[in-house]
Structures are given as structure tokens and as C-alpha cells.
Structure 1
Amino acid sequence: MSQATRILLALVAGIALGIAAVAFDKDWALRVTGVTQPIGEAWLHGLQMVIVPLIVGLLVTGIAATAEAARAGRIAGRAVVLFVVVLWCTTLMSAMVMPVLLDLWPLPEAWSVALRSALTATAPLGKVPTLADFFATIVPTNVVAAASGDAFLPLTVFTLAFAFAITRLEDAARQRLTDLFQAITDAMLVIIGWVLKLAPIGIFALAYGVGARTGAAAFGALIHYIVMVSAIGLIVLLAAYPVARFAGGVPLRRFARAVAPAQAVAISTQSSLASLPAMLKGSAEIGVAPATAGIVLPVAVAIFRATSPAMNLAVALYVAHWLGVPIGPGQLAAGIATAAITTMGSVSLPGTVSFFASVAPVAFAMGVPIEALGLLVAVETVPDLFRTVGNVTMDVAVTGVVGKRD
């Protein structure tokens, strides 16, 4: 049984047991949450404790890899520029579309209230940050204080500047620092691997409390979440077709036929890397020279995830909606910037690790509690399908654009 299956079963079992326990004896069932809730929170804290060093390490090594790719030649440099443009465009799309989707199909208020009480006792409903607050806090006065206070956007801005500064050093010094941060990242991934081995226990404990306090509303909310976040991934996937048509000059039917085998591999493996041979073949079918595709696609697989910032921001916005946290212009701007900047640092991570490493900084930057992520990771398998297929489709589309101008 895969780890993802064990996690999903733990989620379903925890919610179901909580519902059954309340039906049997409500007072006793709620008293049990006094034991299960601390267990679940301790597991969640185990993931939280490595996020700061992991994000710093991933950003430094990710920027180093991006800079190396840009220096590798004209084709790779052009591809990197297009990747950045696509990432920011999809993030802005998510910021505009996700609130509209939530307005059109909101989570039922009764479910939202029940889940809010089950997941967090103190939702941050204070002053909603404005755009002026965003610009006033984006540059940290004390990077250590920013790290200790989970101020991820200022920390990300400093780390980004630090990472680009490293790329300007002489080769020996640059390699030493990059190797250091790669080692830090590898060590954090080992710790996360240990914590994730306990994921079925932690998620079961969290899910029991949610089931006991909310009943069947928990299952309905999870289905609602899957549909809403997957819709953002689907939009990014569909956007690849006009990108290929209007920017790459590839007829839609030809592009659809060429990319279909890579999409099939992506669905079956949930891996962009495993889809690379099919992507190379599809790129050739739309007229991209093998030499160009042989440069662009490996770089895309290494540093580019078209759906990640859009879907990561969508998750944070969904949790805010779920918990009733108001999102002002400053918070939204912080979420957009954090999602777009951090995505290149987590592209090589396994799905479960990537979910926490990518979404938690966005949630922190927006002031959104992350307790719900412990439950949402258990149903990430379905949205992850849209992530992978969207990434593969956009990779081939961008390759077509680069190939047209080669």
C-alpha cells in the first residue's frame, strides 16, 4: 500500500470514527479529542519546524539552477524568461478566478462554521492589511525576526536577493555556498521523511477531531475543496492550448494530438520526469527541432511548474474562505508574490513534501492558519493529477513557443 493510500485511509477512518463516536456518546467522543488533538498538532508542528530552513535552502539552490540554465545559452535563457512570465500570469489568474469561483459556489455556511471551530480556536480576524502595509513590510528590517515570526514574504525577498548575490560570486565561492544550502535542504528532507512516516497517525488524530465536531460536513468540504482547487489546475492546463496556438503558431488540433501521449503518461505516473520522453516526441510532432526540445524540456522539468503557484495560492485562498479569514489587498499581494517566487525552489520535491513546502509559506504570508493543510494533504492525489497534466501540457506549449523563435 502506498503512503498516499495510507494517508487517505487514515483521513477517512478518522472522520468516520469521530462521527460514529459522537453518535454513540457525544460527551465521551468530544473528551477524546483532548487526547487526539494534541497528537495531531504535534505531528503538524513537526512539519512546520523545518519549513523555514527548507524554503531558504530550496530558494538558494533553485535560483542557482535557474541562473545556470539561463547562462547555458540563448535557447535556455529564452525558455527561463518564458517560464517566469507564465508563472506570474498563472498566479495572477488564480488570484482573480479563485475568489469568483468561491462566490459562485461557496462552502455552505453551516459547514464553514463547524469546520472553523474544529480546526482553529482563534482565527486571525484583526485588521486586514492594505497595499500600503504590503509595501511597508515586504523588505525585512531584521531577517532573523522575519524567520522566527513566520514572516515568509520578507524572508523570501531577502533569500531571493541573497541567492542572486551568490550567483555573482566567483565559481569556487558560489559552488561552496550552493553545496552548503543543498546539504541543508537534503537534511531537512530527511527530517520531513521521518515526520511523514507518522502522517497516518497525525492525520487520523486530526481527522477524528474534525469528524467528531462537524459530522458529515467534513466529507462534503473535502469534496468541495478538490473540485475548486482542481478547477484552477484545469484552467492552467487549458491555457496551454492558446499559448501553443497564438504564441507558438501550432494549430490546436495538431498540438492536442502531439501532447496527448505525454498527458496519458502524466496521468498514469503523476510525474513530469516520467513524461519527458513523450514530451520530447510530442515537441518533434509540432515542429520543434530536437536540439531545441532537448534543451528546453529538461530545463522545464527541472525548474518549471506552471500549475504550482496558481494552485498553491488557490489552496491558501480556499483555507481562508473555509476558516472565515478576510483577505485584503495587502494579503493577496503577499500571497501572489510568495507563490510565484517560491515555486522554483520546490519543483524537485515529492508530492506530499512539495504540498507543505509550497503552500505553507503562501498561507503564512497571507496570515492564514495552516491547521487545515494536515487534512488537505490527504486528498491531494486528485488535484495533483491536474498539477502534473497541466505542467506537462504547458511544458510542451512553451517549448513550441521557444522553437518558433529559434
Structure 2
Amino acid sequence: MAWLRSLSVQVLVALAAGLAVGTAAGMGGDAVHQAVGGVEALGGLWLNALRMTVVPLIFCVLVTGIAQMADAAATGRLAARALVWFAGLLLLSALLSLGIVGLTLDLWPVSAEAAQALRAGAQAPAIGAQTAPDFAAWLRGLAPANPIAAAAEDAVLPIVVFAVFTGFALTRLPDGRGRPLLDVIGALGDAMILIVRWVLLAAPIGVFALGLGVGMRAGVGAAGVLAQYVVITSLAGLAVTLVAYALGPFVGRARLNLWARATAPVMAAAFATQSSLACLPAMIERTRDVLGAPAKVANLVLPLAVAIFRMTSPAVNLAACLFVAAVMGIEPTPLQYAGAVAVALAVSVGSVGLPGQVSFIVSVAPICLALGLPIDLLPILLAVEVVPDIFRTLGNVTGDMAVTTILAREKASEVEPTQA
């Protein structure tokens, strides 16, 4: 069957098999435990292979993504206004997630026993008590005195700041002098993505090896924690989807029956493909023919949205990181939350267009690092990302169509007085 060839399905099956075999191995003797430890080392090797690409990939995709945004803003007022809507909705997505996930975890906390077992199973490093950083020191640290040292120390927020400035600066150099360097950085980013794809080819093996250790130490309790993760991250994606869906009729002034008729087939395609790009032709057709958006607006805004806008990205990525914090028993400081939101907004732009498994690592790992969290749990969470990814795509395509509808209404309101 075709679905068995899906990497996401293979990774999920590998995790289930690893947890089951590991749970059985936990009842064995020392020889069995040593054998599991040997296999687990293979999972550690696979995780380190992913780790080595994170920092250079973050820098490269941010520089190229920011440059793409700057180029788009220069193409005209419509594109610039679209970018303003994109930025505002991404910030709303992040803040909505912080509120909903925080409340959900208060009402439905992660079991202390299950969290401890999952930490031990994933062999996540112990983290000492955190002290609230001094605001002045945090503010000074936003601009890295030494970007290389910041990269070596996994100081993600300064790297993001450096990448954003670099991306904008390269687009402002006269006579296109920044284009050759952008091409080099883009090529390096593509090379990192290729490496991640190679590493992900071995994801079923790596996740099985890691799941083996989790199952041996955490037992069947790990499955319950992972199910809770799926529910919480899916809830964050669903909340953003509902907000995006409401924007069309309430802000874009689309008639509710037309809005439902326009979005229904697009959302069905999003559910089936989990790809905003694959839904682009349907989005353009339904927005123009059913909602009546001018071709000029739909043909510019929707491809731009697919290229640089993922409305659910900050929400679901932050939800994943807040869940990791809950498992680790860490309460980030307000400044860390602020940094995590900034990183979430930046990487949501830079990681658009990447394959699902690649974008998960690129998007979630930097936010974890900004919150002072280890990323050792991420490969396990990647294995159950299939369901949250559906809600990611549903929210993204709905948000794309909502912004297009809003801009079409604004365009019409500008033209009508002139015609009158």
C-alpha cells in the first residue's frame, strides 16, 4: 500500500515497535539491558547527525527568508500590506498558543511519574534550577558580540538577530552586490537540508533505537505522555484554524455560505495532502471564482502566502516546546518566553517550504534552545507529528485564504470612492 511508503508512517511504526520491544526488554536481565544500550547508541548517533545541521540551517534559511520578504515588500503596496497582515497574524498565533497551552497544562498537567520516566527513557540531560536573567544583560545579549561563539553556545536568539540583519542588509547593497552572497548562503542552506533529508532516511532506525530505550525505562507510560502531546499540539493548531476561519466572514466580510463553500474543498485537500503548496491551485480558483477576489489580488497574495506565511507555525511549535518544558519540569522566565516568541516568528518565515520532518526540527529546536530546553525529546515527538501536522496545514490554508479575502475587500473599498 502507498501509505506504508510514507516516511511519517514508517517513523510512527518504528516508534511503536521500539516502545513495545523496549518495554519487554525492561523485564530482562543485565545482558538484555546492555544489548539495548548498544542499540540506543545508534539512536544517539542519529540524533547528533540531526543536531549538527541545526545552527547553520537556522542561519541560512533565515537570511534567505528575510531577503525574500524584503524583495516582496519592494514589489508594491499590496505585497507590503500582505506582509503586515502576515506579521500580525503570526504574532497572534504565538500569543494564542501561550495562553491556550498554558491553561491546558494547568488543567491537565503532565504526570510527574510519566514525565520522569520519559526523561530517563530519552536520556535527556538533567537541567539545574534556572535563575531569572537580568533584563539589561538579556538586552545586551540580543546582538552577539561574537556570532561564531553564539553559534557554538547554541545561543539561538542572538543568531536570529544576526541573521535578520544580514538578510535585510544583503538586499540593500547597491548594484545587486549582495546577490552572490545570498546565492552562497542559499546553497549552503540547501546543502544542510539535503543532509537532513539523508539523515531522515534513517529516521525509522534512529527512532526505533531511541524508542527502545524509552520503552525500557518508561514502559507503556510513555505512550500516554505522547498521546497527551498530540492532543495539546493539535489543540493549538485547531485554535488558530478557528481564528483563521472566522477572519474570512468577520473581517473579510465574505458571506458565510460562500466562505464555507470556498474553503471546504481546500481544507479537504489540506487534510489529504498536508501540503499548502499542493493546495495553492485550489486556493486561487476558489478565492477568485467563489469569493470574487480580483485576480490581481489572489494571484499575488496567495503565492506569497504559501512562500513565506504559515499561520499555525508559531502556535504549534511553541506548544511543542511548552510541552517539553512541562516534561522537563522547567518553568521558563518571562524573558525566555519573549525570546521564544521572537524566535518562533522568525523561524516560521525561514522554514516555509521545507519538508514536514525537516521543518519540524528546524522550527522547534531553536525555540527549545531559546527556552533553555534540551532537544533530545524532539526525535520522539517527531514520530507522532502526523496528527498535529494535519492541523498545521488546515490552519495555514485557511489563513492564506482569509488574508487574501481581507485584502480584496480593502482593495474594493479603495476603488469604490474613486468610481463614485
TM-score by length of 2: 0.93
**Amino acid aligned to 1:382:** V
Q: Aligned runs of 1:144-183 on 2, under 5 Å?
A: 144-183=148-187
Distance 1:29 1:228, change over 3 A: farther
Q: Aligned match of 2:320 in 312, 315, 324?
A: 315
Cα separation, 2, equivalents of 1:271 and 1:158: 30
Question: In the TM superposition, what whole-angstrom CA distance separates every residue of 1:172-218 from its partner, at most 9, and x where no partner exists?
Answer: 31211211111101111121121111111111110000000011111
Q: Larger deviation: 181-190 or 224-233? A: 181-190
Where do 4+ consecutive residues of structure 1 move more than 4 Å?
none
Answer whether contact 1:29 1:212 (CA < 8 A) is retained: no
Counterpart position of 1:344: 349
Equivalent residue number for residue 329 of structure 1? 334
- How many residue pairs get aligned? The number is 405
CA drift of 1:28 comes to: 3.7
Matches within 5 A, 1:367-406: 367-406=372-411
Q: Deviations over 1:217-263 (max 9, x none)?
A: 11111111000001000001000122223321123333222111100
Instruction: Spell out, residue by residue over 1:296-344, the C-alpha distance to the aligned partner (whole angstroms, 9 max, x if none).
Output: 0000011110001111111111111012122111221111111011211
Q: Residue in 2 aligned with 1:119? A: 122
1:5-31, CA deviations, whole angstroms, 9 ceiling, x for partnerless residues?
2211111111100011223x1544433
Post-superposition shift, 1:129? 3.0
CA–CA separation in structure 2 for the residues paired with 1:221 and 1:131: 34
Cα RMSD, aligned residues only: 1.4
Instruction: Kindly indicate whether the alpha-carbon contact (under 8 Å) linking 1:244 and 1:400 is maintained by their aligned counterparts in 2.
Output: yes
User: For residues 264 and 96 of structure 2, what CA distance do their matches in structure 1 show?
Assistant: 25
Aligned pair 1:254/2:258, yes or no? yes
- Partner of 1:273, secondary structure, is helix
The separation in 1 between residues aligned to 2:370 and 2:131, in whole angstroms, is 13
The structure-2 alpha-carbon separation of the partners of 1:172 and 1:127, relative to structure 1 and needing over 3 Å to count, comes to same
Matched, 1:219 2:223: yes
Secondary structure of the equivalent of 1:347? coil
- Alignment map for 1:26-175 (pairs within 5 Å): 26-120=29-123, 122-130=125-133, 132=135, 134-175=138-179
The aligned counterpart of 2:299 is: 294
Between the aligned partners of 2:132 and 2:38, the Cα distance in structure 1 is 36
Q: In structure 2, what is the Cα distance between the partners aligned to 1:286 and 1:266?
A: 19
Please identify, of 181-190 and 240-249, the stretch whose mean Cα deviation from structure 2 is larger: 240-249
Contact 1:125/1:325 (8 A) holds in 2: no
Question: Percent identical across equivalent pairs?
Answer: 45
Q: Is the 8 A contact 1:115 1:323 kept in 2?
A: no
Residues in 1 aligned to 2:251 and 2:139: alpha-carbon distance in whole angstroms = 34
Q: Quick check: 2:280–2:302 contact (8 Å CA) kept in 1?
A: yes
2:63 partner letter: V
Which amino acid in the other structure matches residue 113 of structure 1? Q
Distance of 2:51 and 2:39 partners within structure 1: 19
Q: Which sits farther off after the overlay, 273-282 or 206-215? A: 273-282
CA separation in 1, counterparts of 2:64 and 2:268? 31
- Tell which deviates more after alignment, 363-372 or 126-135: 126-135
Structure-1 separation of matches of 2:95 and 2:37: 41
CA distance in 1, matches of 2:120, 2:128: 14
SS in 1 for 2:126: coil
- Structure 1 spans left out of the alignment, 5+ residues: none
Contact in 2 for aligned 1:44/1:202 (Cα 8 Å): yes
Q: Following the alignment from structure 1 to structure 2, what is the Cα–Cα distance between the partners of residues 297 and 145? A: 39
Other-structure match for 1:13: 17
Structure 2: give runs of 5+ residues left out of the alignment: 412-420
- Whether 2:203 is the aligned partner of 1:199: answer yes
After superposition, give the CA deviation of every residue in 1:250-285 in whole Å (9 maximum; x if it has no partner). 233332221111001111111111111211122122
> Structure 1: which amino acid aligns with 2:109?
P
Given the two structures, how large is their TM-score scaled by the length of structure 1? 0.96
State the alpha-carbon separation in 2 of the partners of residues 41 and 255 from structure 1.
Answer: 48
Structure 1 CA distance for aligned equivalents of residues 379 and 8 of structure 2: 13
Structure 2 distance, partners of 1:131, 1:270, is 42
* Distance (Å, rounded) in 2 between the aligned partners of 1:92 and 1:134: 21
Name the SS for the 1:275 alignment partner: helix
Q: Kindly provide the amino acid, as one letter, of the partner of residue 353 in structure 2.
A: S
Match of 2:417 in 1: none
Say which is worse superposed, 117-126 or 368-377, in terms of deviation: 117-126
Following superposition, the deviation at residue 112 of structure 1 comes to 1.0
What do the CA deviations read for 1:88-118 (whole angstroms, capped 9, x no partner)?
1111111222111111111222111111222
Partner of 2:415: none
Mapping of residues 227-242 of structure 1, within 5 Å: 227-242=231-246
Distance 2:15 2:255 in 1: 44
Question: For residues 339 and 131 of structure 1, what CA distance do their matches in structure 2 show?
Answer: 22
Describe the shift of the 1:156–1:31 C-alpha distance in structure 2 as closer, same or farther (beyond 3 A). Answer: same
State the Cα deviation string for residues 351-398 of structure 1 (Å, max 9, x = none).
000000110011111111111101111111111000011100010001
Q: Could you tell me how far apart the structure 2 residues matched to 1:171 and 1:106 are?
A: 56
